[in-house]
Chains A and B, each alone.
Chain A
Amino acid sequence: MLKKRIIPCLDIKEGRTVKGVNFIDIRDAGDPVELAKRYVKDGADELVFLDITATIEKRKTLVLLVERIAREINIPFTVGGGINSLEDARAVIIAGADKVSINSSAVKNPELIRNIAMEFGSQCVVVAIDSNFENGMHRVYVNGGRIPTERNTLDWAQQAEKLGAGEILLTSMNKDGTKSGFDIDLLSLVGNALNIPVIASGGAGTKTHFTEVFRQTRASAALAASIFHFAEIPVPELKKYLLNNNIAVRL
């Protein structure tokens, strides 16, 4: 049976992981490669690296980091954050990333989805959507959730699928950071309308939130950051819990 995927997300700034991490058994928690290796050992199914560096030197640093990750890690990983063009995508894919995640740049230029998919295949293209429910509408936001657009989340997700997206990484802004559970309404709405995998993101706070999202929606995977980084819910413990609750996961 195809397993539900658990995906830790690592924020990267200037080649280093941000946000405090308190794994006691790694020497340098600021080193994305060390942290990633720890997650692999813990049984993470995939990793997402989100680059939040704002400097011009960004791409060079990121490409060097991606090469290091690819040499060390034997599970699939996605790189996102500031991939604005086919050239940007090409640089990180050639450096060894299995997938690129695009967000604002895809909203500004939807053809970017098609262009990356044509060159590297749909399986390489993750379209990340930040969605906020307001005035009765699921609205797409860009620039890290700072700027509202006129787009409706469901329409945009369906358009992205048609253009060749291989997966949708769907973050609920209403739920993100609240630790009150995934956005079941949003994930059901989008998941039921698409035939490509949807990754649930935003709101994970307890182990039961993961059983809820996998039982009540078609989400193929769930992504979280802080609960894994701060070891509030270690990946092995979460997976054991899911298995005991009849959710198929890889142990």
Chain B
Amino acid sequence: MIAIIKYNAGNIASVKNALDRLGYPCIVTDCESDILNADKVIFPGVGEASSAMQYLQKRNMDVLIRSLKQPVLGICLGQQLMCAHSEEGDVDCLNIFDARVRKFPPEDIVPHMGWNNLQQTRGQLFSEIRGDEDYYFVHSYYCELSEETVAVCDYILPFSAAMQKDNFNAVQFHPEKSAASGTKLLLNFLQL
């Protein structure tokens, strides 16, 4: 069973729809035992960092997420919340990745919205995926490059498009909305 963490950041339905299409049983849940017992955990999210962190802390879900031992995949805001700190609402985050989240400088159109290719992909998430595939991004804040970066995207500046440390994986783009290339990446995660 795959657990999709339910919290105050939507559009979680699209992740569930993607897993349904791939035939993987999943539940959208905020129940601690469901999450702890899941084979894999997806931490999705579209929303604002400081209110999302507040929500998680109030329910002790920050501690729960950090303690997970099974493969975890953060998506979009999920990846940002797994970093050390976000400029969005000036908030300390889960500190799984040793990177900060910053706002894009207004040197080009913000949000970074649309399809962009990755560079320097590595690791199991990108196994047997061409290095220059396009994925769908939509975000105004970005995760800095760090030791945990496993894919780089360039928009205004180079940033972490994907990160990985131990069992924690994360992507800034939306694999569930990235057509065939996103499906391949989700399958790679589901087969970890």
On A, residues with C-beta under 8 Å from B are 1-5, 40, 45, 70-72, 74-76, 93-96, 98, 120-124, 166-167, 194-197, 218, 220-221, 250
Contact = CB atoms under 8 A, between A and B. Distances in A.
Interface residues of B, number: 36
Nearest to B183: A74
Interface in B21-51: 21, 46-48
B111 A220 contact: no
Contact of A71 (B17, B134, B179, B183): B17
Given A2-B155, A70-B17, A75-B177, A196 B109 contact: yes
Given A71-B17, A96-B17, A221 B11 contact: no
B122 to A, nearest CB: 21
7 smallest beta-carbon distances between A and B, as pairs: A250-B134, A3-B115, A250-B115, A123-B138, A2-B116, A76-B177, A96-B13
Given A1-B154, A5-B115, A96-B13, A218 B46 contact: no
Nearest to B133: A250
Contacts, number: 88
B114 A2 contact: yes
Contacts of B174: 76
B168 interface: no
B115 A45 contact: yes
Interface string B142-162: 000000000000110000000
20 contacts: A1-B117, A3-B114, A3-B115, A3-B116, A5-B114, A45-B115, A71-B17, A71-B21, A75-B136, A76-B177, A94-B13, A95-B13, A96-B11, A98-B11, A98-B14, A98-B177, A123-B138, A197-B113, A220-B114, A250-B134
A55 to B, nearest CB: 26
A124 B115 CA distance: 17
B109 A1 contact: no
A34 to B, nearest CB: 16
Given A74-B178, A95-B13, A250-B115, 15 more contacts: A40-B179, A45-B115, A71-B20, A93-B11, A96-B13, A98-B11, A98-B14, A121-B46, A122-B111, A123-B46, A166-B111, A195-B110, A196-B110, A220-B114, A250-B134
Contact of B113 (A1, A96, A167): A167
